[in-house]
Chains A and B, each alone.
Chain A
Amino acid sequence: MAALAAKWAAVIAMLAPVLSCAGQEGGVCSANAKALFLQHEFAAAQAELQGCVARDTNDNASWELLGLTLASEGDKEGARADLVRALSAVPESREFRINLAVFLAKNGRIDEADEAIQPLLGSSGDANLDRLIGYIRMQQHEEREAITWFERALQQAPDSVETLYRLGFAYHSVGDLEKAAALYRQVLELDPDQFSARLQLGKLLLLEGDYGKAEQELTRASRIRPDYPSTWRYLSEAQLFMGKSQAALASARTAVDRGSQDPRNYYQLGTVLTHLGENQAANAELEIMQKLRASRRWLPPDSPED
């Protein structure tokens, strides 16, 4: 449930800039609902909006906001239907189009999102749009193109934490670790509690062999999101390299505790136990890892925004 909430918090964060435009296309009925929505009072917003559209089935702004509300509540099909309905009624609405594309992209319907955004590709000067296209390109594994879009977005909004992070992650994805680290650092200067940037920076430092700094970053990340298993796994790695075996053991155990279905966490625990000479215990953990690995190919992403 916490993961779901976190996911939708991320969606809302991404939508927030365009939400300010919601309601401009239609009547005033949705104004109160919009306020409720922005306060994350989704159930109340939904009730309000359902009243609006019952009174006026052509209140497209309310349909739009209802779609966003349902998305926030996890009703994907309902959300999609309402967002599509709103856009169909007002196809020239840039905001509706962006909202639909964001929703589709965030729900893994990348090709549909790409299609929805096509009419806007020629337009320029909108950082949110450029960032969204960058995000879609990332999901399509077109990282180089994504970098171009994120950089465009950044020119218009140089202090956008979201864009800086995504650009950093795109550079990270193509292996340009130096640029990625610089961007993560920039994010953290603006928002020291940006969890994903903190985690990714820790991972980069780990890769580069700067174990001390990696440990610092990952420790801070673990304080921001103590529930996130991969943070503890990487922290354990850093601690092991630093010779802090007992701390590494504790972190690896926490990773397993928080992410009991991820074979990598058992691998790290097994590695630490091997290092400690506890071969029997290590083998037991590594066996669990092998079994989990055999039963699933998919591994959870390292950060909630990946």
Chain B
Amino acid sequence: MNPFQFTRANTPQAAVSAVSKESGAYFLAGGTNLIDLVKREVIIPERLVDINRLPLATIEETTSGIRIGAMAKNSVVADHALIKKHFPLLSMALNAGASAQLRNMATVGGNMMQRTRCPYFYDHSMPCNKRGPVQSGPSKGQPNGPAGCGAIGGVNRMHAIFGTSEKCIAVHPSDMCIALAALDATVNVTGPRGNRSIPFAQFHRLPGDAPQKDNTLSPGELILSVDIPRNEFAKYTHYLKVRDRTSYAFALVSVGVAADMKGKTIQDIRLAMGGVAHKPWRLADSERFLKGKEATLENFKQAATLAMQGAKGYGENDFKLTLAPNSIIEALQIATQTV
């Protein structure tokens, strides 16, 4: 690893201040992605600001739902009684991601901040538009590797089918975020200009002309917590993750379903997909279609067809155009217990 400075922050304000005043400074939480990126020289930091001591790991009920501290470990959230009881989709999604060791290290905030696993992004001898300039050392300010998108026309089996741009077809890697997107979470942040709350759907962004930006945070902003509003979705819910091996692999396609049922009728439903876009992909059209309808295979097929409008394959990932709708149907069947 390249050398860097290390600072331990004791308050969120101190952490924000330390990261704001230096362009090459990064918050260090669990480090499961950041340290890997530093080792691979995708990120060459000037300074890491350790936020592991910040008192931001509590999980508590609020008047409107639940608040999860940004520094709560993924394993703790997944096994938490309140989460399992009221928001099982989040628990399922967390347990579908990474390994037990990584979940013991990874935090909720860090999970939201993880970068794509696109192999072109990780190999700075290959073209990629997602890497920013080098942040320290003799090459400071220079682009870290050639520009372009190696995945378009290249090895793109894992890549996006929705919301792509000619600059980038990478996918967002998180499972947890698919659940948070489906459950209409809100992200609370603090920064150089004070506190604000960001609806989860607006937290991550599509690549457009600036694929180096994964999210809508401003420089120096720190995630404090995530709120999930109370819902009636605990009973009919499922997180289906389709991947190359049974466990410990990123999603080819994943589907999060949370529904409120009365008899066979879907009173309300939330649907989101992973492994298909640069951000958690909410299926709003399918949700609208299914609301008030019976949980039948025919309706699920129509919902899946609606979800796939605008999907586009890039060659090696064309199979996702079939895998995704099939996964939606299967996840809906399991969630609504109509298999």
A binds B: no
Chain B interface residues toward A at CB < 8 A? none
Chain A interface residues toward B at CB < 8 A? none
